[in-house]
Amino acid sequence: MNQKLKGLIFFILEIAVISAILYFVRGKLVDSHHHEVNTYLPMLIDIAFLGIFASFGGRLAKALKIAPMAGKIIIGIMVGPALLGVVDPYSSGVELARLAGVLFILFEAGLHFDMELLKKNIGIATAVAFGGVLIPLLSFAALGHYVIGLEWLPSIFLGGIFTATSVGLSVEALKRAGKLETNIGNQIVGAAVIDDILGVIILTVLAKMSSTGGEHGVEAAGMNPFVMLAIGVLVFLFATYALWTWGIADKIAKYLNNQYSSNSTGIFTRFFFFMLMLGGSLAAILGLEPVLGAFGIGVVLSKVDNEIKHSAWDKIEGYMHIFVGAFLVSIGTMLPREALMDFKVWMWAILFTILGFVGKYIVRWFLKDKNDGKLVGLAMSIRGEVGLVFVAVALANHALDETMASASLLAVILVTVLGAILFEKEVNKQMAEEKKIEE
């Protein structure tokens, strides 16, 4: 038997066996009469199995020669409601893994973020971010209102879904490419963070308008919620920069080093984890996305002594891989089965995917360097968690019907996979060219 065919058969069998085990074990746990068993163990078993499915995704990606993150999202589609249905995308364990994965990814991005480089790149990062938000927002809003025939509010919601870049997935792609701590990596992460802040502001405004009477929502809601949101963003930016400038984290780390770590580095691991959760929670209290708080606290901790930082991160990273992989798989599980069977959904999804990709990739011409422009355009095209949040909020506020919501969800997944694959291919191509020049 052909070796590849044999490998494929074993791969399918592995997925089938693991899926059957998850289905059986989770069902028995939920049916238990013990509170701890029927409430908390299903959450833990979901996270554990998502981690295993992520490994399958990495293997699939290697076989298909695509980006690892794309393989994990595809596995998520297979084990989610779209096909096998053994993973519920909205169960507590899956949602916890999704949130934790994004927090860890953004936290690491902050730890490796160079504020001095951002100061040098603030102009281009801001231009890329604003261009990457306005182009999809306006183009999709026009498509929704003038072509599909939606009211203006649903049309703007449709545009909002494709505005924000997934910082988490972009960082993961940059990390795998060895570009995270480079100048171009800093430009991409900086633009994506600004992009997400703008996306969160748009989402908050639209949600407020939806809950207060549609197109008359702004007038009915008053400006107080928007003023509070603006204050929250300013507080977040000022606090992050101030704490980084004053080196507060380094001073705390030195205190901990003197008082607690005479024979162990465990205190720093616990301190980093504590700060990650605190940063995400404080951002949420300010009305912002927790992921921005995770990124901000990572930036603050980036000034900690390198030896301490690397020691703490080495310990955290082992757990991080479980949640990051689970996050990627969970994105695929959010695609419903009905979306795969409806021709109209696929038609709109393909159109949204093309428009969503082009709307972000066009920012490549904002950069003078052709190669850097390609990388920035492809990295910014990767969507993910924020787009999915937009879809969820649109559904909760009845802003989009089931067809448009399913098409948008499918398009977010498709453009994420497409962007991830093309980004990794472009990075490999540029690295090969650089190697030839060096030789």
Does residue 39 lie in a domain region?
no
364 DSSP 8-state letter: G
Domain containing 124: what range? 92-438
Examine the pLDDT at 134 and tell me if it is beyond 80. yes
Does residue 318 lie in a domain region?
yes
Report the chain's C-alpha Rg in angstroms: 22
Decide: 210 and 202 in contact? Cβ < 8 Å. no
Which two structure tokens, joined as six digits, stand for 159? 């545009």
Examine the pLDDT at 318 and tell me if it is beyond 80. no
User: Residue type for 38, please?
Assistant: N
Examine the pLDDT at 239 and tell me if it is beyond 50. yes
Split at pLDDT 50, 70, 90, the class of 140 is: very high
Split at pLDDT 50, 70, 90, the class of 306 is: confident
Q: How far apart are CA 216 and CA 147, in angstroms?
A: 23
User: Residue type for 199, please?
Assistant: G
Average pLDDT over residues 349-362: 92
pLDDT at position 386: 65
Does residue 343 lie in a domain region?
yes
Examine the pLDDT at 367 and tell me if it is beyond 90. no
Split at pLDDT 50, 70, 90, the class of 220 is: very low
Does residue 96 lie in a domain region?
yes
Average pLDDT over residues 273-284: 91
Q: How far apart are CA 434 and CA 428, in angstroms?
A: 10
Does residue 268 lie in a domain region?
yes
For 397-426, what is each residue's pLDDT tens digit? 778 887 888 888 888 888 888 888 888 788
Percent of the chain past pLDDT 90, that is, above it, reads: 23
Examine the pLDDT at 355 and tell me if it is beyond 90. yes
Does residue 372 lie in a domain region?
yes
pLDDT at position 204: 67
The number of beta carbons lying within 10 Å of the beta carbon of residue 366 is 17
pTM over 0.75: yes
Mean pLDDT of the chain, nearest integer: 83
pLDDT at position 145: 92
Examine the pLDDT at 203 and tell me if it is beyond 80. no
Decide: 334 and 80 in contact? Cβ < 8 Å. yes
Average pLDDT over residues 304-311: 78
**CATH code where residue 314 lies:** 1.20.1530.20
Examine the pLDDT at 1 and tell me if it is beyond 70. no
- Listed range (89-93, 217-221, 298-302) with the worst mean pLDDT: 217-221
pLDDT at position 436: 78
Examine the pLDDT at 51 and tell me if it is beyond 80. yes
55 or 409, which is more confident?
A: 55
pLDDT at position 218: 42
Average pLDDT over residues 55-68: 85
Quote the number of domains for the chain.
1
Average pLDDT over residues 247-254: 86
Average pLDDT over residues 347-365: 92
Q: How far apart are CA 264 and CA 272, in angstroms?
A: 15
Does residue 21 lie in a domain region?
no
Burial classification of residue 12, based on how many CB atoms lie within 10 Å of its CB (0-12 exposed, 13-18 middle, 19 or more buried): exposed
For 99-133, what is each residue's pLDDT tens digit? 898 888 888 878 877 777 777 778 888 888 888 88
pLDDT at position 320: 83
Decide: 75 and 54 in contact? Cβ < 8 Å. yes
Does residue 73 lie in a domain region?
no
- Listed range (11-20, 257-266, 305-314, 359-368) with the worst mean pLDDT: 257-266
